[in-house]
Amino acid sequence: MTRSNSQLFILVFLGILTAFGPFVTDMYLPTLPAMTDYFHTTSSQVQLGLTASMIGLAVGQLFFGPLSDKYGRRLPLIVAMCLFLLATLGCLYSRTIMQFVGWRVVQGIAGAGGIVISRSIAADKYSGRELAKMLAIIGAINGVAPVAAPVAGGGMAESVGWHGIFWVLFGLGILLLLGSLHFAESLPAVRRQNARWSDVYKSFLTVIHNRRYVCYILQFGFAQGVLFANIASSPFIMQEHYGFSPLMFSICFGANAIAIVISATSAVRFAHPEQALYRGSVGMVIASFLLCVALCAGCSFWIYEVLLLALLSMLGLTFTASNTLAMDSERANAGMASALLGALGFAFGGVVSPLVGLGNIMVSTGMLFFIGSVCAFVCTRIALRRAFSLAQYYRK
């Protein structure tokens, strides 16, 4: 008799796997100044640890996605979690900053396994509205985790320092390893790609020739760019421009995260995910334009916060819809499809994050919000035009 997992276990397990990558990347950010003193180095070199983990998260998804299509989901997950535990110990016992940066690359690659395989498992087990509901939860977690991770790290920074935060990550890795061992394989052998390893990446060509899929992941990438522009800019805007304390900044950060969660989970209320994607994309353009004008004009905090909440709400709506439509359009190559989706999102976030610091941060952030939103809308329009008449989305 084939063993199976309960739906509650799958829900909790996939949720933690989804949050895993962002927590690996962002949780230790409040301790960067302390790490500068610990390693006797400059702040720019310490920040290489963040860049290294982003590179690992992007590259790792391109590795673990095809690997899970060939060998199933369970074994690559176990490998990823063991590799993560090893890399975390390497970070903890690094003697120089470059040793730490090197282990952060490995840590990011391992963390990517959890992200990419979580979406693949969802596509294996669910379809249609059930898949949309599961990916709504994953999308909500994916939206809130990069925001919540620094807040959680900030709460622990003074008491346990960066070593303590990495020991917490080590504990999370052990928990996920135990979950991976308990997990019942979701991809039967008959559905795996029984090709040589050198042939697995041929599925990459198949996936990128699906133009609707490409438009969906580009929409997600530009939306992620908008999210990371907010993550990178809001600490400086709220604390330096508006004079907020770290505590008040954390409260506002949390409120913004809740807005993403609520909108991402509400996407399943739409009759079709295409409708949610279109409405969210249009809303992003409107909210980002108003926010860009307000930031360039040096608006008050409450105008900034209200418009930002509107933008992030529309953003969460598109996260669920774009993930659902992308994975549903490439079910036969779910591992590779999930890998490209995740890698593109982190790549866009890595490119956009340093751009907010160019010139006046208020102006640069507003422009990045608007440009990213317009690009996301263009991708949405092209994708939906291929299968549906856009007129139905105006009417509904």
Residue 362's Cβ-side half-sphere holds a number of Cα atoms within 13 Å equal to 17
CA-to-CA dists, residue 52 to 34, 103, 105, 211, angstroms = 19, 9, 5, 31
**392: pLDDT strictly greater than 60:** no
Q: What is the C-alpha to C-alpha distance for residues 350 and 366, in angstroms, rounded to an integer?
A: 18
Give the residue extent of every domain in the chain.
Answer: 1-186, 194-395
Mind listing the pLDDT tens digit for each residue in 219-243?
A: 999 998 898 888 777 777 887 788 8
Answer whether CATH 1.20.1250.20 is correct for domain 1-186: yes
Q: How far apart are CA 24 and CA 41, in angstroms?
A: 22
Residues 6+ apart with CB under 8 A from 61: 112, 115, 116, 338, 339, 340, 342, 343, 346
Report pLDDT for 89: 96
Distance CA 132, CA 264 (A): 10
Report d(CA 134, CA 124) in Å as an integer.
12
What are the pLDDT digits (tens) for 176-212?
A: 999 889 888 887 777 776 666 666 667 777 888 888 8
- Quote the tokens at residue 16: 């933690």
- Band (pLDDT 50/70/90 cuts) for residue 102 is very high
Model confidence at 391: pLDDT above 60? no
- Give the pLDDT score at 196: 65
- Both tokens of residue 306? 């209200």
Q: Which residue has the tokens 């509205």?
A: 129
When pLDDT is cut at 50, 70 and 90, the band that residue 308 belongs to is very high
For residue 383, report the phi and psi dihedrals to the nearest 5 degrees: -65, -45
Higher pLDDT, 354 or 392: 354
Q: Per residue in 255-285, pLDDT tens?
A: 787 788 788 778 778 878 888 899 999 999 9
Lookup result for tokens 């522009």: 229
The more confidently predicted of residues 308 and 52 is 308
Nearest CA among 119, 73, 21, 106 for reference residue 320: 119
Give the pLDDT score at 293: 95
pLDDT for res 149: 77
Give the pair of three-digit tokens for residue 187: 């991809």
Q: Can you tell me the distance from the alpha carbon of 169 to that of 227, in angstroms, rounded to the nearest whole number?
A: 23
As a 3-state breakdown, the chain gives helix, strand, coil percent values, each rounded to 5, of 85, 0, 15
**CATH 3.30.230.10 matches 194-395:** no
Q: What is the pTM of this model?
A: 0.71
Q: Indicate if the pLDDT at residue 381 is higher than 80.
A: yes
Quick check: 384 and 278 in contact, CB under 8 A?
yes
Residue 1 has pLDDT above 50, yes or no: no
Give, in degrees to the nearest 5, the angle at Cα 120 between 119 and 124.
120
At 117, the pLDDT band (50, 70, 90 cuts) reads confident
What is the reported pLDDT for 378?
94
- Does residue 40 surpass a pLDDT of 80? yes
